[in-house]
Structure 1
């Protein structure tokens, strides 16, 4: 059965067999994803096979302090704090690793972030890496570590928008 398109998490999705190899990300999906979405903290987007989730990410508004932002994001006279969009908890089930699910989720998240910024503003996309492997992963997508915490990485909305335009050719 083919994988679904990226869609909003709902009560029909099965979460119980998801295993990305990182207990914290597994626990977030099964223990907090639905509640956080219901309460309006996060939008959880999933890819599934026959309603069983094989990949997911969270999307939420966020802020960063100007002194932690790289210069490319602090340019001009930014507000304090700087409004951003957060991609949180991105993970893919180990059984689907290497099949492009993660890349598809990242691209989908970046497209949604630029669309959201068009509506409500936002200077950057921010991620909080769970470990050094995740830090390297996000750096491979052009994200820059914050000045005060290497596990918080960011990329300007303008840069993301340009990259998406170039990669769609």
Structure 2
């Protein structure tokens, strides 16, 4: 995970209109599970832990959410199950707003 800046043009439209030209975020650089351990919920556990860490960072650094570059459209579908959204301009750059993160980790 790392801090990042993203142009609002790369946010889903309903979020882009809420922010200035550039927004701060947390970027999940790489998340993978070895093939032999896939389909066991490990990826979900790692992703939820990443969300928790993003929330801690947001509480201290003022970011708007978590960003991830999906490796493929198949991987994009995985992230979308957790509420990540993309845009037509950059469909593999996905965004999960802080409000959604809070809802997910507090439930």
- TM over 0.5, yes or no? yes
Residue from 64, 67, 70 that aligns with 2:6:
64
Q: Which runs of 5+ in 1 are unaligned?
A: 1-58
Instruction: State the 4+ residue runs in structure 1 displaced beyond 2 angstroms.
Output: 71-76
When residues 72 and 123 of structure 1 are mapped into structure 2, their CA distance, relative to the original with a 3 A threshold, is farther
Q: How many residues align?
A: 107
Aligned to 2:66: 125
The match for 1:74 is 16
TM-score, scaled relative to structure 2: 0.91
Structure number with the higher strand fraction is 1
On the 8 A contact 2:66/2:98 being kept in 1, the answer is yes
Q: Is the 8 A contact 1:73 1:123 kept in 2?
A: no
Residue number in structure 1 paired with 2:106:
165
Pick the structure with more helix per residue. Answer: 2
Contact 2:10-2:93 at 8 Å conserved across structures: no
Alignment of 1:47-126 (within 5 A): 59-76=1-18, 78-126=19-67
Q: CA deviation at 1:159?
A: 1.5
Hey, what's the Cα distance between the residues in 1 that align with 2:103 and 2:89? 26
Cα RMSD of the aligned pairs, angstroms, is: 1.4
Cα contact 1:86–1:126 (8 A) shared by 2: yes
Q: Which residue of 2 aligns with 1:43?
A: none
Structure 2 gap ranges (5+): none
Deviations 1:112-167 (A, max 9, x none): 0011000001012111011111111111111001341111010111111112112x
Normalized against structure 1, the TM-score is what? 0.59
RCO comparison, higher one (Cα < 8 Å, 6+): 2
